[in-house]
């Protein structure tokens, strides 16, 4: 193989390597970003239905959302929490996809602890799901203290307030001269480009000398 052809191939390979070094600092941060995984939907499968009820924990004053699936179209279900302490009224019949749902609002004074969520129908044994009720955050107590009446003191006059309009303080001038920090990736890219140009120039000179 002629020496000139080999030198040209080496030159193109070196150019490709230099371009890769220049682009790598800017592409690497974007490639390393990971996509968060989708959160799994809490679900429990029972004999005659699938029930979605979240984590199984609810705080006083909040609402528990429940979805019941895999039902026969038109099936009617009932639900209550705490052995009948809270009865859910007017739950819609299952739609043509076998889905229905309801919401249970937990009173602010509902007892804290584990309570059974019972879902029933007229054909099968009821589904019993333990739900943990957590204590809610108590509202801050209102204070009746009267504010103390004190004579207002005049504000202290600072150097910046006594400066003439339109004049900038020395600190502000210094801050305006300081520019934003240069990213490390940009510095690496510039250095890699300089090194690549030096190497390419040396190779080009060698190829020209070989031709002569």
What are the residues facing 100 on neighbouring strands? 68
Closest CA to 58 of 121, 129, 158, 8: 129
Asked whether the CA dihedral 17, 22, 24, 30 is positive or negative, the reply is negative
What pLDDT score was predicted for residue 89?
96
pLDDT at 11: 64
- Residue 109: is its pLDDT beyond 90? yes
pLDDT higher than 90, residue 103: yes
CA gap 16, 2 in Å, rounded: 22
pTM over 0.85: no
Confidence of residue 198 (pLDDT cuts 50, 70, 90): confident
Cα–Cα nearest to 59, from 103, 114, 108, 101: 108
Least confident of 35-39, 80-84, 120-124: 35-39
Nearest C-alpha neighbor of 96 from the set 118, 69, 129: 69
The tens digit of pLDDT for each residue in 12-65 reads 666 766 676 666 655 544 444 443 333 345 678 999 999 999 999 999 999 999
User: Taking Cα atoms as reference points, which of 7, 6, 16, 5 lies closest to residue 203?
Assistant: 7
What is the band of 190 on the pLDDT scale with cuts at 50, 70, 90?
confident
């Amino acid at each position: 193989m002629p020496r000139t052809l080999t030198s040209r191939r080496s030159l193109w390979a070196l150019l490709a390597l230099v371009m890769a070094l220049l682009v790598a600092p800017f592409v690497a941060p974007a490639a390393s970003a990971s996509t968060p995984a989708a959160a799994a939907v809490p679900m429990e499968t029972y004999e005659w239905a699938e029930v979605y009820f979240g984590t199984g924990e609810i705080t006083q004053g909040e609402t528990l959302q429940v979805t019941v699936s895999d039902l026969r179209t038109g099936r009617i279900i009932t639900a209550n929490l705490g052995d009948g302490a809270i009865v859910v009224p007017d739950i819609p019949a299952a739609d043509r996809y076998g889905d229905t749902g309801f919401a249970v609002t937990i009173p602010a004074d509902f007892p804290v602890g584990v309570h059974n969520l019972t879902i029933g129908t007229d054909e099968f044994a009821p589904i019993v799901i333990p739900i943990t009720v957590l204590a809610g955050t108590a509202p801050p107590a209102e204070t009746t203290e009267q504010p103390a009446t004190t004579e207002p003191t005049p504000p202290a006059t600072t150097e910046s307030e006594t400066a003439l309009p339109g004049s900038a303080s020395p600190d502000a001038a210094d801050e305006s001269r300081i520019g934003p920090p240069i990213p490390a990736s940009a510095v690496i890219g510039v250095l890699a480009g300089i090194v690549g140009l030096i190497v390419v120039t040396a190779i080009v000179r060698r190829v020209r000398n070989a031709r002569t």
